[in-house]
Structure 1
Amino acid sequence: MEHVLAMTRTATISSKYRKVIVAASLGTVFEFYDFFLIGLLAAEIARNFFSGVNPTAGFIFTLLGFAAGFMLRPFGAIVFGRLGDLVGRKHTFLVTIVLMGGSTFAIGLLPAYATVGILAPIGFVTMRMIQGLALGGEFGGAMIYVAEHAPSDKRAAWTAWVILTAAVGFLLAVSVIIPLRLTIGADAFGLWGWRVPFLVSIALLGVSLWIRLKLDESPEFKRMKAEGRASKSPLGETFGTWKNVRLILTGAFCILPAQAVIWYTGQFYSLFFLTRVLKVENLSANIMLIVATVLTIPLYVLFGSLSDRIGRRTVYVGGYVLAAALTIPIFQAMTHYANPALERAQVAAPISVAAASSDCSVQFNLLGTSKFTTTCDVATDAITKLGLNYVSADLPAGSAAEVRVGDRVIVSYAGDAPDAPAQKARFDRELAAALGEKNYPLGVAAPEDVNAPMIVFLLMVLLSFGAMTFAPSTTSLLEMFPSRIRYTAMSFPYHLSAAWFGGFLPATAFAIVAATGNIYSGLYYPVCICIACTILSLLFARETKGADIARG
């Protein structure tokens, strides 16, 4: 009889566990579905909401609009973290998911720049900021809700199921975008079809609300309330004592920055690199990333389980070391297997831009209002837009900049000169001829040159670093804090790090590449953060495996 009762309890727990995981995970699916929509549809968003600025500035502006959502996440963590610690995890879930779903749906309804002018980008950024506020309370709450249901020896394995739905969000985004683009054609998709992925999110919102309304409160929160241990001032307790502030700083600046940049480098920057730099056809690049994502999904649970056995810090620091050592070589290998003609041309006929140093500026134009017209800026802008490497060389002051392709020299021009249109035509013609003579591929990478299996393998290795670090690092963060302030104290450092390190990775890496002319230089950003976090985690982070999260 006791054996039968034990089996019944096990079955009940298993069923309840599945419900908890599904409900908590849907918000994460929403988060990353929207994240990838903004990235995958960046070109369409730039044309519709930022068409009043030049294309390069519009693309940067789009990436910054993407980052705007991240800027509000720490504030959302404070607002909804406090709410979650005061009134409970379940009620906070309902508020955040309605805000997220409503904002995603609204982006699909926003009028374009051609219709309402400056109100278009303002509306887009506003929706992104509302999403950021909601996300600040969503992910931490989902992690905590699952962790407070989990056995202590399976905590990271259980929370890993929430985390892997980030990859599901990507798969959902591309499963909507790609068939739609192929069905209605590129022209119709660019005109109105890009709105459909945002609009269909209302269905996901409906399902999420229906499931979450059926949830019970977290057992740990109910026990804490019943025992009178709930905090009356979560913000005061979180930020009012040095012990908690020190843990927040450790999480936000020693542990989590590397996890953020590793994950976004694998899932977002890799696609940007394949399509915009290596010129791999867009559909092919997406399919390769889809395959790699599907094949690496089980690794989230595997590495979560491993950290339950050998410790959180050992696993995530190991991931940081591997990412620091291998990220740049992986992207260099992508060049070899995706566009070998480009690799050969770069070796045989390297490009340099020779100019007076005073003639060159950093072309990071946030508002799209600055004009870069010097001969150096014109030359570097032309090479950067082609996605090509170049190195800098010095010329005496007053000299016109030169683009050198092997032994060919093309003299640049001033963008504000009276005959600038004619000079531009001459410059573009001579540059194209020089690049063609030196066998530089200027169009889409030849399909027969793209080694898809090797690229999928390289993407899998890159994505495995994210799987290795995500569950152990975030589970360690929630284990640092007592239950009475866990929602606030865990959410704030996570979203602060995600916002200021992960959220700005696309715009920062794009600007670094544009400034240096090195197609790999944007990767120095995540690599340096991984090195720093490895050292800081070993110095300041403590092991949390087996921590009693029912304390306090």
Structure 2
Amino acid sequence: ACRTVMGTEVFEAWGWRVPFLLSILLLAISVYIRMQLNESPVFMKMKAEGKASKAPLTESFARWDNLKVVIMSLLGGTAGQAVVWYTGQFYALFFLLQMLKIEPQTANLLIAGSLLIGTPFFIFFGSLSDRIGRKKIIMAGCIIAALTYFPIFKALTEYGNPDVFVAQEQNPVVVVADPGQCAFQFDPVGKAKFTSSCDIAKSLLAKRAIPYTNQAAEPGSVAQIRIGERVLPSFEGSSMAAADFKVQSEAFTATLSGALKEAGYPEKADPAKIHYPMVLLLLTLLVIYVTMVYGPIAAWLVELFPARIRYTSMSLPYHIGNGWFGGFLPTVAFAMVAATGDIYYGLWYPIVIAVMTAVLGILFLPETKDRDINHT
């Protein structure tokens, strides 16, 4: 709504802050709701009987019988839930914007539409977990997601920006560089500087979402980008002053953009060629995976731990799982794409984590749907 009212230029300059400021209203509402709630009957009864833990941190993390459940619920539960969640909502949007170059307003509306359609499934899978179990649904969500991410994201490319396929077939891109100059471009806080000729070339191609292959060059040589028959030498920026690097980088970016355009690589997805119903369907499918792993997770975590240390014990796997395993997904995936030139290679991160969670969860975590949550 803000982008539509303000216009894209104003929104991207400063208007994107407005939704964050408006969230103050949501905060006020959530604080009000929280103040009207009582503690759970389980906690109140435990407190009245004097059974509350006097050292919840010690009981949660310093005793192996509980610590192993904490570790397993992280690696065999919330880690997989987190990457499936972040892939379905956040990485999907990142992929539409950065890889397929779909116009931001369109991408956001497509994601919003998929969330609108998929949200009722949170209730469905939460309710289903009360009947058939939490573990079955979460593990199934992780496994199905891991098996289908590659075909789904390749289909998103086919229906969202088909020109990329045509250009890649007619004018393939190759980065010829000394492997020793090529860094793994993991930059979670946006402060790292990648200034070797290889890193400059790969970073620009990755940001433009241009698929490419790698070819080793002589040690110490300056990297090159080959687009079909055309060869563009990169430049070595490691010893350049910041101002000189900026000028050279802008010039090289302009040259590369011109060469890619001549080779048929689109700067943006053509709105007339986007198959909107199919893209929306694929995005909705990704959201349904999210609902499978997220709908039952709160009940499962609550039931895994005794009441006296429940809040402390479940907080660590939930927040580490979502904040670290999920939160780093876009950054890690971009670095993997930049390293390989394969716009789908970043999907290996959520796939590996989801498979790990499925294996550990199936082998080492119990089903809890019939467990009495009053136990202390």
Q: Which residue pairs with 1:510 in the alignment?
A: 334
Say whether residues 1:523 and 2:336 are aligned partners: no
* Higher RCO (C-alpha under 8 Å, 6+ residues apart): 2
Matches within 5 A, 1:4-403: 179-365=1-187, 371-403=193-225
AA paired with 1:242?
W
AA paired with 2:229?
D
Aligned CA RMSD, in angstroms, stands at 2.4
Bigger mean CA deviation after superposition, 196-205 or 285-294: 196-205
Bigger mean CA deviation after superposition, 246-255 or 201-210: 201-210
What is the TM-score with the length of structure 1 in the denominator? 0.63
Q: Which residue pairs with 1:449 in the alignment?
A: 273
Say whether residues 1:409 and 2:231 are aligned partners: yes
SS of residue in 1 equivalent to 2:16: helix
Question: 8 Å contact 2:186–2:331 — kept in the other structure?
Answer: no
Match of 1:534 among 345, 358, 366: 358
CA drift of 1:533 comes to: 1.1
Report the Cα distance in structure 2 between the residues aligned to 1:434 and 1:208, rounded to whole angstroms: 52
What is the CA deviation profile of residues 5-52 of structure 1, one whole-angstrom value per residue up to 9, with x for unaligned ones? xxxxxxxxxxxxxxxxxxxxxxxxxxxxxxxxxxxxxxxxxxxxxxxx
Question: 8 Å contact 2:188–2:331 — kept in the other structure?
Answer: no
Match of 1:480 among 266, 287, 304: 304
What is the CA deviation profile of residues 495-520 of structure 1, one whole-angstrom value per residue up to 9, with x for unaligned ones? 12122211211222222222222211
CA drift of 1:191 comes to: 4.4
Say whether residues 1:435 and 2:257 are aligned partners: no
Say whether residues 1:471 and 2:295 are aligned partners: yes
What is the TM-score with the length of structure 2 in the denominator? 0.91
AA paired with 2:143?
V
AA paired with 1:252?
L
- Cα 1:417–1:469, aligned 2, differ >3 Å: closer, same or farther? closer
SS of residue in 1 equivalent to 2:175: strand
AA paired with 1:261?
V
Unaligned ranges ≥5, structure 1? 1-178
- Cα 1:233–1:412, aligned 2, differ >3 Å: closer, same or farther? closer
CA drift of 1:417 comes to: 7.2
- Cα 1:495–1:366, aligned 2, differ >3 Å: closer, same or farther? closer
Question: 8 Å contact 2:172–2:227 — kept in the other structure?
Answer: yes
Instruction: Point out 4+ residue stretches in structure 1 off by more than 4 angstroms.
Output: 365-371, 416-430
Count of aligned residue pairs for this structure pair? 373
CA drift of 1:289 comes to: 0.8
- Cα 1:203–1:239, aligned 2, differ >3 Å: closer, same or farther? same
- Cα 1:534–1:366, aligned 2, differ >3 Å: closer, same or farther? closer
CA drift of 1:539 comes to: 1.3
What is the CA deviation profile of residues 381-439 of structure 1, one whole-angstrom value per residue up to 9, with x for unaligned ones? 32122121111101223433221122322233333579988976775565344423332
- Percent of pairs identical after alignment? 45
Question: 8 Å contact 2:184–2:336 — kept in the other structure?
Answer: no
AA paired with 1:431?
L
Report the Cα distance in structure 2 between the residues aligned to 1:373 and 1:220, rounded to whole angstroms: 58
SS of residue in 1 equivalent to 2:225: strand
SS of residue in 1 equivalent to 2:119: helix
Unaligned ranges ≥5, structure 2? none
CA drift of 1:190 comes to: 4.0
Bigger mean CA deviation after superposition, 182-191 or 299-308: 182-191
SS of residue in 2 equivalent to 1:213: helix
Question: 8 Å contact 2:227–2:259 — kept in the other structure?
Answer: yes
Say whether residues 1:499 and 2:320 are aligned partners: no
Report the Cα distance in structure 2 between the residues aligned to 1:339 and 1:234, rounded to whole angstroms: 53
Q: Which residue pairs with 2:367 in the alignment?
A: 543
Report the Cα distance in structure 2 between the residues aligned to 1:371 and 1:220, rounded to whole angstroms: 52
